[in-house]
Structure 1
Amino acid sequence: MDKWRRKQLHSHSYRVPDTFCGEVVVVVGCHESGKDIALDLCKVAMDVHISVKSVVDVAAGVPRAVSRHHNLHLHPQIKCLREDGTVVFADGSHLAADAIIYCTGYDYSFPFLDIGGAVTVDDDGGRVGPLFEHTFSPALAPELSFVGVPKKVVVPWFYELQARWVAQVLSGRRSLPPAEEMMRSVEEDRRAQEAAGVSNRLSHVLEDFECCEEFGEKHCAFPRLPEWKKELLLCAWSAPACQGSSPPGSCAVTVLEQNDGVGGQWLYDPKVDPGEPLGLAGVHSGIYASLRLIVPREVMSFSDFPFYPRDGGDGRRYPGHGEFLRYIREFCDVFGVMDAVRLNTTVLRVAAMANDGSLRWTVRSCTRRGENDDGHHGGKRCSTPLSSPSARMDNWRRRHLHSHSYRVPDSFRGEVVVAVGCHESGKDIAVDLSKVAMEVHISVKSVDDVAAGMRKTVSRHHNLHLRPQIDCLCEDGTVVFADGARVVGDSVIYCTGYDYSYPFLDTGGAVTVDDNRVGPLFKHTFPPALAPEHSFVGVPKKVVVPRFYEVQAKWVAQVLSGRRRLPLVEKMLSSVEEYHRTQEAAGVPKQFSHDLWTSR
């Protein structure tokens, strides 16, 4: 580094990318801070070059990130820096750079601590010692202890365990071994690490999850975590799988997203295609402007990421859709989900292929740059708007649309509107329309079965009326209901839900959609003939979202990683058939096969 005369700094001094605008920057290291800073810089820099110890062993998320940014490049270690600004890499390639940022971590340092050599930091700054169980100095225990030395542990859980142990020792509830015994333990650990080829710098790296649990159980009587929480931490902790060096049981994940941002249905788009009012309206999302959550924000969250209000956001307990979209994106940022997401990618075809006796999936997708072919596991819930099956619609010449195409009530001002269906979207849209429409007539299957809350809503609005099913729609705009009543309507809005549809999926008949039943699916998730390589997350309806889908995703992850096993194909098929027989015996129509309700 001595010859380098241009800008160089440690990541500790990095704050914002603005000062690197238009520059060529070399980022040394690609752990978390290295990846973050490189991605931050590529927004303004001319080129960002990431230098790593081994290009082959880089985590899968890094090459994907590089492939998505034209000005992001991957290089091996730096061989030398020249006075003229040239950076030479180990493979002989070189470039002229304006700045170097070292994302190389930190050395242990305790400059304020004077204990006569009882605890030292070795020359390369990677080992603090001697420390019994990375916490107590044998010569000075229990009066001196260190909390927070171990690295690559579950934070703050492991440090909490250390603090509990220290507190129990200082309070007399636990005792330490004699100093000689602690020293022997430290020396044995050191010899074992040296025999395993572990360098001094990695002495305090405790990547074994089991080590954390054993530490808590052994030193502070901290109970082992329940399985669900352990699985959650394991999934979060081992999420970045590596290509070429993946630990057994891990798998790389790629998410194909057709929009230019994450959020799916919650990605509100005010524009719709007026030429397709009963279809998908040219957009994926069916969110309307006034939509709010119908369950408290405490429920609408993932188990490990509370849905808290944020300054400047929608602080209501039942916030609007924009607040939930903010939560989803914050979740993606915090957990690094975007490293696995390919935006603006439309799936054209997913098909199974036999490969040496095993099942492989090929995915044909289309981006703005053209088509791609990839291997793929998994599935998603897709849907198409379902219009009213009972109404004779052919003669209707006035406006009609599916709720998927509804956004704001303004264009219905002064009109007579018929809303078909009174589930959540039907109720919301009817009330929204009542602010500007002359009359809003809500058509339901059975007036007698309408919930009390809906009746109260109708009673509070003079222009809101409850009607039975539509019998027919007439060419002159007359809407005839099943009880013989009729109104002259200007518009009909079908708030009738969606059908399952997977037009891109080719399973050779192994999975079909029959009267809105997707199957056969074991526990609404795995098709027996294609499991575990293919799975569906998000098919069940009337469940607590997103918690239920999170549980499905965990199950799929555990099966793919080998931590859980599925029953034999025959047993899964038998389970599916038994479930459907039970549903039929209970009088549940086939179209409601995936309605699980929150009480089940």
Structure 2
Amino acid sequence: MASKKFRVAVIGAGAAGLCAARHILTYSDTFLPPVVFEASDRLGGTWVYTERTGEDAEGWPIHSSMYRSLRTNLPKEVMAFPDFPFDPSLPSFLHHSDVLAYLESYAEQSGIQDHVRFRWQVDGVRPVLGEQGTAGGWDIKATVRGSGSTQHFSEHFDAIMVCSGHYAIPFIPPIPGLDSFQGCLLHSHSYRHPEPFAGLTVVLVGAGASGVDLALQLSPVAARVVLSHQGPPVCGLPEDVLQVPRILKVAKETVVFGDGSALQPDALILCTGYRYRFPFLALAQLGLQETDYGVGPLYRHLLAPRHPSLFFIGLCQQICPFPHFHCQVLFALAVLRGRCLLPSAAEMEADAQGQLDRYLREGGLAQHFLRLKAQQWSYAEELAQLAGFPPLPPAVREIYEATRARRLRNVGTYRDLTYRLLGPDAWEEVRDSGRDLEGNGSAE
């Protein structure tokens, strides 16, 4: 008698959800074809650009945070899924439309689109108890968005992969008096292009990827651009971009900074990141809770200890996203296939708490716990060892770190380079004309 195949629900058809679906289809001996729930009408998640902000024509929230001229801040050589390279003729630093086209090709070649339910909004995910109190899978309640009407459905699954992303709900910092600001106030989530800010004085809050990018975009058109942040000076910004300490308070037209200086800007753009949000999950019932850094405790940053068939793919930050998703998905599927045995729920919770405690003892801030940075490599290697899949090629780490070093030296020019992979542990930098700049051998 054939063993029962697992039915897996994937929530979200962005890069993480597509990766999950691709690999579920690969293991057809263990899994039924996945069901991918996607609230919008197309795949790609945050890589789908739209001029609209706020809500779409039907009143549903706009998910994407893309702006018109966005280019990736990582080269395609480290962005790609390990089993699906980008077109080598493309430049290393891609326009967002190239990334979306890549994801569409990834889905097409894997046969994923046949398994995506577009315009299905997941409203609730509830664990089901089986016989004698054992885990009995999950019930999903979803709403089908139609033209002028909605329909509600409920279905049963054996496992859930949450791939809904975390770049849709803006984080608004608790700046005193912010609500009183009388100029143009928005989050970078709603920024699309620089023209509306022509001739204005603009204050950008935060020097992460969005804050720096917007400073570069706005400098040629705005009357004045001020970048407010608490870190060291950003190297390579135009000379007319003024860098000041973080905002102390806002008083109607006036913004006061930490050094006591003040300004009356026309626009204030918050480049302050995003919040994690899972409205379809009753976290407390799952042994989870909202935390300063998102949701926890999660074993290996992705698995609910008391419900080891519930996986969160892609919560970590400051990583190579697509390779990271690849490793997490393969680990999750190894767990479901019985190829990776887990500790007890209590042991997994203790492990997750211990990792957080060590991070805090070493001086880390709780809200930054999921910023893996250099730790992403040992994390990915550990998942590969536990689940028995090939580790990421050494060249991925080397190019990532070379890019990071160049970005720290000059944010305005680091994307002028093109990289070329020569093998799993060898690569080089080239000019657009093809002239070699610098060869990089293996990591030996």
Please state which band the TM-score falls in when normalised by the shorter chain: 0.7 to 0.9
**Residue 588 (structure 1) aligns with:** 364
Q: What is the CA-CA distance between 1:441 and the residue it aligns to?
A: 0.6
Q: CA deviation at 1:251?
A: 4.0
Q: Which residue of 1 aligns with 2:211?
A: 426
Name the counterpart of 2:226: 441
Given the alignment, which residue of 378, 381, 400 partners 2:185? 400
Alignment of 1:241-390 (within 5 A): 241=28, 247=29, 249-273=30-54, 282-309=61-88, 315-356=90-131, 357-369=134-146, 370-376=151-157, 377-383=160-166, 384-390=169-175
- Paired position in structure 1 for 2:26: 239
Instruction: Determine the C-alpha separation between the residues in 2 that align with 1:236 and 1:405.
Output: 33
Aligned CA distance change for structure 1 residues 538 and 60 (closer, same or farther; 3 Å) = closer
Say whether 1:493 aligns with 2:276: no
The whole-number CA distance in structure 1 between the counterparts of 2:221 and 2:279 is 38
| Structure 1 residue matching 2:179: 3-state secondary structure | coil
Note closer, same or farther for the CA distance 1:337–1:274 as it changes in structure 2 (3 Å cut). closer
Kept in 1, the 8 Å contact 2:49–2:66? The answer is yes
CA contact (8 A) 1:444 1:468 kept: yes
TM-score (norm 2): 0.73
- Please state if 1:461 is matched with 2:248: no
**Cα-Cα RMSD:** 2.4
Shift of 1:300: 0.9
Deviations 1:458-480 (A, max 9, x none): xx332x110101111122x1111
TM-superposed CA distance for 1:375, in Å, is 2.2
C-alpha distance in 1, partners of 2:176/2:201? 18
1:550 CA displacement: 0.8
Q: Provide the rounded CA distance (Å) in 1 between the counterparts of 2:177 and 2:130.
A: 50
SS at match of 1:327: helix
Question: Within 1, Cα distance between the matches of 2:289 and 2:213?
Answer: 33
AA partner of residue 197 (structure 2): F
Pair 1:239–1:437, CA change in 2 (3 A): same
User: Alpha-carbon deviations, 1:144-183, whole Å to 9, x = none?
Assistant: xxxxxxxxxxxxxxxxxxxxxxxxxxxxxxxxxxxxxxxx
Q: Which runs of 5+ in 2 are unaligned?
A: 8-18, 377-444
Question: Which residue does 1:76 correspond to in 2?
Answer: none
One-letter amino acid of the structure 1 residue matched with residue 39 of structure 2: Q
The more displaced of 504-513 and 483-492 is: 504-513
Report the number of matched residues.
346
Q: Does 1:530 align with 2:311?
A: no
Q: Does the aligned pair in 1 maintain the 2:286–2:307 contact within 8 Å?
A: no
CA distance in 1, matches of 2:100, 2:152: 29
What code does the residue aligned with 1:319 have?
A: L
TM-score (norm 1): 0.55
Amino acid corresponding to residue 388 of structure 1 in structure 2: P
Per the TM alignment, residue 358 of structure 1 is displaced from its structure 2 partner at its CA by 2.1
- Three-state SS of the structure 2 residue aligned to 1:456 is coil
Query: How far apart, in 2, do the equivalents of 1:514 and 1:340 lie?
Result: 33
Residues 534 and 432 of structure 1: is their aligned pair in 2 closer, same or farther, counting only changes over 3 Å?
same
Cα deviation, residue 422, structure 1: 0.7
Gaps of 5+ in 1: 1-58, 62-231, 242-246
Measure the CA separation in 2 of the matches of 1:564 and 1:274: 42
Partner of 2:199: 414
Q: Contact conserved, 1:240 with 1:252, CA < 8 A, in 2?
A: no
Q: What aligned pairs does 1:194-213 form with structure 2 within 5 A after superposition? A: none
Residue 84 of structure 1 is matched in structure 2 by none
Residue 326 of structure 1 and its aligned partner are, at CA, apart by 0.5
Larger radius of gyration: 1
Q: Contact 1:526 / 1:534 at 8 angstroms: preserved in 2?
A: yes
Q: What amino acid maps onto 1:530 in structure 2?
A: H
Matching residue's letter, 2:102: Y
Q: Can you list the C-alpha shifts for 1:44-101, whole angstroms capped at 9, x where unaligned? A: xxxxxxxxxxxxxxx999xxxxxxxxxxxxxxxxxxxxxxxxxxxxxxxxxxxxxxxx
Instruction: Give the Cα–Cα distance (whole angstroms) in 1 for the partners of residues 41 and 239 of structure 2.
Output: 40
Indicate the structure with greater strand content: 2
Q: Which runs of structure 1 show a deviation greater than 6 angstroms over 4 or more consecutive aligned residues?
A: none
> Hey, what's the Cα distance between the residues in 1 that align with 2:46 and 2:342?
31
Q: Deviations over 1:357-414 (max 9, x none)?
A: 3232111111135112122422234442101223431221221011000000111111
Report the residue type matching 1:537 in the other structure.
I
* AA matched with 1:368: R
How far residue 592 of structure 1 moved from its aligned partner, in angstroms, is 1.0
- Quote the offset at 1:487 in angstroms: 1.1
What secondary structure is seen at the aligned counterpart in 2 of 1:428? helix
Q: Does 2:332 align with 1:552? A: no
Residue matched to 2:318: 542
**2-structure distance, mates of 1:239, 1:435:** 49
- Partner amino acid, structure 2, of 1:378: M
